[in-house]
């Protein structure tokens, strides 16, 4: 990964390394792996600022069904988005890829008492996904720096929202208990669209409402500047690198609401330096976070847990 990558983009893009970009990374790192490279990026100038689409009517907020699974504050987790899922961890929640994980794996985890959260990107197009052709050229804006084949989405687009509804339907059909939509902070990145904090809140609440209507729990992924505004709409939080970048304090809004914070850290020191990892875990336990030290590839090549 180039050191020139914007820190915000670098941080929240960790979670899509289950895709062709991972294959390149894995070969460089000597971790094995294989498969074909991603399809060519869609045509057009990926850095152009596109004409904004009309904004949809404001979403009034999440409608929550009377009964659906919600993770408890004390629930433990495992996060793996690449490779064959290691189902042996004694945790309460598995977070795995919606598209690449077989339904049989989800069923096996649930048969062993686990709950399953299914990951997908809600804020970017990925040209290797099976539904990529459904995105219209006007839906896709600037490329994500360092991530070939991905472009920011115009989250105001009715077509984009229809695709996300179909992905939530897929989560239901595969038996997922919850979902983790990624890249839900495009307004604070160079998307190429006139997105704003208000349009992001509307989109994120749309995702939460649609998930809850399907009796799916939903995670708020990163989007640090909107934690207080969205804590009432989401059931738990997934964060990357808040310890490394001293950005953890805002998550107390989730903890105070009895909603767990699942945190992943990637800094090499947390893996190689036992004292640094001990300090990290002490801080995580004080905050009541569920912190894992994981590889960037999220491929289960190593795992350190801060659980006592």
**Domains present along the chain, CATH in parentheses:** 7-34+67-305 (3.20.20.70)
pLDDT confidence tier of residue 14, bands split at 50, 70 and 90:
very low
pLDDT confidence tier of residue 20, bands split at 50, 70 and 90:
very low
- Which one is predicted more confidently, 131 or 37? 131
pLDDT of residue 66: 60
Write down the pTM of the prediction: 0.81
Q: Decide: helix, strand or coil at residue 181.
A: strand
Give 71-82 pLDDT, tens digit per residue. 999 999 999 999
CA–CA gap between residue 222 and residue 71 (Å, rounded): 17
CA–CA gap between residue 125 and residue 128 (Å, rounded): 9
Mean pLDDT throughout 162-170? 98
pLDDT confidence tier of residue 146, bands split at 50, 70 and 90:
confident
CB environment 116-133: b (16+ within 10 A), e (fewer): bbbbbbbbbbbbbbeebe
Q: What are the counts of helices (DSSP H) followed by strands (DSSP E) for the chain?
A: 9, 12
Task: Flag the least confident range among 33-37, 237-241, 288-292.
Answer: 33-37
pLDDT of residue 151: 97
Residue 41 has pLDDT above 60, yes or no: no
CA–CA gap between residue 212 and residue 216 (Å, rounded): 5
Residue 50 has pLDDT above 70, yes or no: no
Tokens 């820190």 identify what position?
A: 7
pLDDT of residue 71: 98
Residue 154 has pLDDT above 60, yes or no: yes
Tell me which DSSP letter residue 135 carries. Answer: S
pLDDT of residue 51: 40
CA–CA gap between residue 178 and residue 306 (Å, rounded): 23
Mean pLDDT throughout 267-273? 97
CA–CA gap between residue 308 and residue 67 (Å, rounded): 31
Structure tokens at 294: 């994981």
Q: Decide: helix, strand or coil at residue 38.
A: coil
- With 0-12 / 13-18 / 19 or more C-beta atoms within 10 angstroms meaning exposed / middle / buried, residue 223 is buried
Residue 126: closest CA among 181, 204, 53: 181
pLDDT confidence tier of residue 65, bands split at 50, 70 and 90:
low
Give 198-213 pLDDT, tens digit per residue. 999 999 999 999 999 9
CA–CA gap between residue 237 and residue 260 (Å, rounded): 6
CA–CA gap between residue 65 and residue 199 (Å, rounded): 25
pLDDT of residue 308: 87
Average pLDDT score over the chain: 84
Residue 26 has pLDDT above 50, yes or no: no
Residue 63 has pLDDT above 70, yes or no: no
Mean pLDDT throughout 222-226? 97
What stretches of 127-238 show up as alpha helix (H) in DSSP?
158-174, 197-213, 227-230
């Amino acid at each position: 990964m180039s050191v020139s990558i914007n820190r915000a983009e670098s941080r929240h893009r960790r979670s899509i390394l289950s895709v062709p970009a991972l294959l390149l990374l894995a070969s460089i790192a000597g971790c094995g792996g294989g498969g074909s490279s991603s399809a060519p990026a869609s045509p057009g100038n990926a850095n152009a600022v596109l004409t904004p689409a009309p904004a949809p009517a404001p979403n009034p907020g999440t409608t929550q069904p009377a009964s659906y699974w919600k993770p408890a504050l004390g629930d433990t987790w495992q996060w793996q988005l690449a490779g064959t899922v290691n189902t042996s961890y004694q945790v309460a929640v598995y977070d795995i890829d919606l598209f690449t994980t077989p339904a049989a794996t989800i069923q096996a985890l649930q048969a062993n008492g686990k709950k399953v959260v299914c990951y997908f990107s809600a804020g970017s197009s990925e040209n290797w996904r099976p539904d990529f052709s459904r995105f219209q050229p006007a839906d896709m804006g600037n490329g994500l720096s360092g991530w070939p084949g991905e472009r920011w989405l115009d989250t105001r687009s009715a077509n984009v929202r229809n695709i996300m509804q179909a992905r939530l339907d897929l989560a239901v059909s595969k038996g997922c208990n919850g979902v983790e939509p990624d890249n839900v902070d495009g307004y604070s990145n160079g998307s190429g669209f006139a997105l704003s904090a208000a349009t992001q809140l509307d989109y994120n609440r749309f995702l939460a409402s649609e998930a809850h209507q399907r009796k799916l729990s939903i995670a708020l992924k990163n989007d640090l500047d909107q934690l207080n505004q969205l804590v009432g709409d989401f059931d738990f939080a997934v964060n990357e690198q808040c310890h490394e970048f001293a950005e953890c304090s805002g998550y107390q809004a989730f903890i105070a609401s009895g909603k767990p914070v699942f945190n992943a850290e990637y800094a090499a020191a947390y893996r190689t330096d036992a004292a640094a990892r001990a300090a990290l875990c002490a801080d995580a336990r004080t905050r009541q976070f569920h912190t894992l030290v994981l590889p960037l590839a999220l491929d289960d090549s190593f795992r350190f847990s801060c659980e006592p």
